[in-house]
Homo-oligomer: A and B are copies of this chain.
Amino acid sequence: MLTKIGDKWTIFVVLSLDLLGGRARFSELERAVPGISQRMLSSTLKNLERDGMVIREVFPEVPPRVEYEMTELGRRLLHPTQGLVDWAKENWEQVREAQSRYDER
């Protein structure tokens, strides 16, 4: 469970989707999450959809358009996730210093 959140991209996708207003199409997310591949974005979204965190909506147009929208359940994940991000921001520097000290020995 926590392992799912801990995979490489889920947190970034969730946060990006939120930043984009809770709703975005595939290509927007692709641009919003630097470094993610189509393969991993697709896979991550599929998992989020399966877990009920995101709803996938297909518009039968040409060219195709697909939008992803966060559900209430997904939005609830935002707070603990943001807590983690904040923690990282606030303590990153101290961690780096600890690592430097450790590595010098």
Contacts and interface: CB of A to CB of B under 8 A. Distances in A.
Interface of A: 1-3, 5-8, 11, 49-53, 73, 76-77, 79-81, 83-88, 90-92, 94-95, 97-99, 101-103
The copy count of this chain in the complex is 2
A4 to B, nearest CB: 9
30 contacts: A1-B88, A2-B11, A2-B85, A3-B8, A5-B6, A5-B84, A6-B6, A6-B7, A49-B102, A50-B102, A51-B95, A51-B98, A51-B99, A52-B95, A52-B97, A52-B99, A52-B101, A53-B95, A53-B98, A73-B94, A73-B95, A76-B87, A79-B83, A79-B87, A80-B80, A80-B83, A80-B86, A80-B87, A81-B84, A83-B83
Overall SS of chain A's interface: helix
B6 A92 contact: no
